């Protein structure tokens, strides 16, 4: 009993405290590639703290929908990371069919982010919302097809079983589909978290942004929520990839958790390397890459059903 509580506490602490560090590691990796020292890896935490201290400015043309965007985005992201069995341990929230909840949480978050962007009436934000939902139409099938592979392998619709310790045993039997899903999900990770080659988190050019442009009007603590929610989302997708790639469990928390965290930092470095070595895609080419990600997952399904 005490052990379960400790596990749960550890899960919550890691899931809530680690995400900004991933952003810091990405920034540091990029800085090293650019030959700069770069901001400290803890900079995202300082930024969140700074934003929390600030006041917010709300445009008079906006309604409650505008404020709901960051709040819903944060709450859904927190709930979502609690559904994932992080280091092979039990997830704090788990029930049969929770994978469907995960899908809807992601959908709800996107809906409110887009709605709050449209609520401002700004032509930039409308443009960003249009781009976001267009690309989401193509990114979501890639996630679902990957989940289908896992559901088929585990015979369950419960994330704890799909991504739990039993996944390790499946690698010998279904290695190829799992590799395809990992690749597909890594692409989706880049797309969903507005990283290069899909979006440039470092740009100031509103006309080229996808995700960033939707949150231009948010300020202060609300913007802090947006940033923190975004880091949780990055954490969520990275955790999915790490669980697939490193499903082995030693059975000891003192070993499993460090391996998991190292895996997460590894994903962050990989994102940093991708961002440092390639340019953004032309916006019209983004769907092509997302369709490729869908196809990877789809081939995983095909291989499994063969």
Give the interface with other proteins as residue ranges (CB under 8 A).
30, 33-36, 123-124, 126-127, 130-131, 196-197, 200, 202-208, 275-285
Closer to other proteins at the Cβ: 1 or 205?
205
Closer to other proteins at the Cβ: 156 or 203?
203
Min dist CB 208 to other proteins, Å, is: 5
Taking the C-alpha atoms of residue 204 and residue 217, their distance in angstroms, rounded to an integer, is 14
Please enumerate in sequence order all residues whose Cβ is within 8 A of that of 36, keeping only pairs 6 or more positions apart, or say none.
Answer: none
Closer to other proteins at the Cβ: 30 or 161?
30
Closer to other proteins at the Cβ: 98 or 275?
275
Q: Is residue 210 within 8 Å of residue 195, measured between CB atoms? A: no
Min dist CB 142 to other proteins, Å, is: 21
Min dist CB 33 to other proteins, Å, is: 6
Closer to other proteins at the Cβ: 190 or 242?
190
Q: Burial code of 34-57, b = ≥16 C-beta within 10 A, e = fewer?
A: eeeebeebeebbebbeebeeeeee
Please report where in the chains the tokens 């592979």 appear, as a residue.
149
One-character DSSP codes across 195-252: -TTT--TT---GGG-SSGGGGTT--HHHHHHHHHHHHHHHHHHHHHHHHHH-----S-
Min dist CB 295 to other proteins, Å, is: 20
């Amino acid at each position: 009993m005490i052990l379960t509580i400790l596990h749960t506490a550890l899960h919550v602490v890691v899931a809530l405290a680690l995400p900004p560090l991933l952003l810091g590691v990405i920034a540091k990796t990029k800085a090293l590639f650019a030959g700069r020292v770069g901001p400290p890896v803890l900079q995202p935490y300082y930024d969140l703290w700074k934003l929390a201290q600030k006041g917010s400015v709300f445009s008079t043309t906006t309604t409650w929908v505008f404020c709901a965007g960051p709040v819903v985005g944060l709450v859904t992201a927190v709930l979502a990371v609690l559904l994932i069995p992080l280091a092979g341990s039990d997830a704090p929230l788990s029930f049969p069919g929770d994978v469907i909840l995960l899908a809807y949480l992601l959908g709800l978050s996107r809906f409110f982010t887009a709605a709050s962007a449209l609520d401002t009436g700004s032509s930039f934000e409308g443009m960003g919302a249009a781009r976001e939902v267009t690309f989401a139409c193509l990114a979501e099938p890639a996630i679902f097809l990957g989940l289908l592979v896992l559901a088929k392998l585990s015979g369950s619709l419960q994330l704890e079983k799909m991504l739990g310790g039993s996944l390790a045993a499946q690698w010998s039997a279904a290695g190829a589909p799992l590799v395809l899903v990992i690749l597909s999900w890594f692409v989706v990770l880049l797309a969903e978290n507005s990283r290069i080659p899909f979006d440039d988190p470092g740009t100031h050019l509103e006309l080229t942004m996808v995700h960033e442009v939707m949150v231009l009007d948010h300020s202060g603590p609300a913007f802090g929520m947006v940033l923190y929610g975004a880091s949780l989302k990055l954490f969520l997708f990275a955790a999915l990839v790490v669980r697939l790639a490193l499903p082995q469990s030693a059975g000891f928390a003192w070993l499993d958790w460090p391996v998991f965290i190292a895996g997460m930092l590894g994903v962050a470095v990989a994102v940093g390397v991708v961002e440092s070595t390639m340019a953004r895609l032309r916006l019209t080419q983004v769907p092509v890459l997302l369709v490729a990600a869908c196809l990877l997952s789809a081939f995983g399904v095909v291989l499994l059903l063969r």
